[in-house]
Amino acid sequence: MPPDVSLADVTISRLQKHAQPLTDTFDTVICRLLDHYEASNIDSGKPGQPIGTKGTNMMVFDPTMPPQLKFTTCTHITVAGEKLPKQITYWNNLLIAVIEEVHKKGKDVQTIHEMMHVANSVVGKREDSGYKFIPSVGLSVQGAESNAAFKQAYLLATVNKVKFTVQFVWQTNERAAHPGRYGYLQT
């Protein structure tokens, strides 16, 4: 006999947002969320191993198991087919571009804020403590280190079907994962 489980009203409301009316039960929604989580869990497996190459000098990585991104510089970013200008090709700007695209797809600011599980965000304008306000969305996001910015961008992108690609290079630093080498990640 399975245990009798009670859920908070707020949890039930959140589950209902992901349910298909007249089709899903709480069990089917939870199973679908677990399937997605297990398929996209960045913390599982052995991260950092290339799954292939692109050209002669670029390692391709599985975005569910990315390499250590500390000491990297983004060289090219596209989100939803749009290339970010060279002067803003940074990990945090990838996250901002994904947030803007999720908003364009119809998610309101509160929903996006609730989806932010890695990077800090605040509904409304905040520009202290490293926060950057995204006027088109109405959300302020705190700057995050490269690994956290990528992880949050990836999670938002996969849940909301936003495509992006990132090409980057590790700096020539002995603490970098692959000094001087190029990497590639995509959703």
What pLDDT is recorded for position 33?
Answer: 73
What pLDDT is recorded for position 25?
Answer: 80
Number of C-beta neighbours around residue 51 at 10 A: 10
Rounded Cα distance between 94 and 77, Å, is 7
Q: Are 54 and 60 in contact (CB under 8 A)?
A: yes
3-state DSSP of 97-146: HHHHHHHHCCCCHHHHHHHCCCCCEEECCCCCCCEEEECCCCEEEECCCH
Beta strands in the chain (DSSP E): 50-54, 58-61, 72-79, 82-83, 121-123, 131-134, 139-142, 164-170, 182-186
What pLDDT is recorded for position 70?
Answer: 97
Q: What does DSSP assign to residue 149?
A: H
Q: Are 42 and 65 in contact (CB under 8 A)?
A: yes
CA atoms within 13 A on the CB side of 143: 6
What pLDDT is recorded for position 45?
Answer: 44
Render pLDDT for 66-109 as a digit per residue (tens, 0 to 9). Answer: 999 999 999 999 999 999 999 999 999 999 999 999 999 999 99
What pLDDT is recorded for position 92?
Answer: 98
Rounded Cα distance between 106 and 182, Å, is 35
Question: Residues of the chain whose pLDDT is less than 50?
Answer: 40-45
What pLDDT is recorded for position 43?
Answer: 43
Rounded Cα distance between 86 and 75, Å, is 7
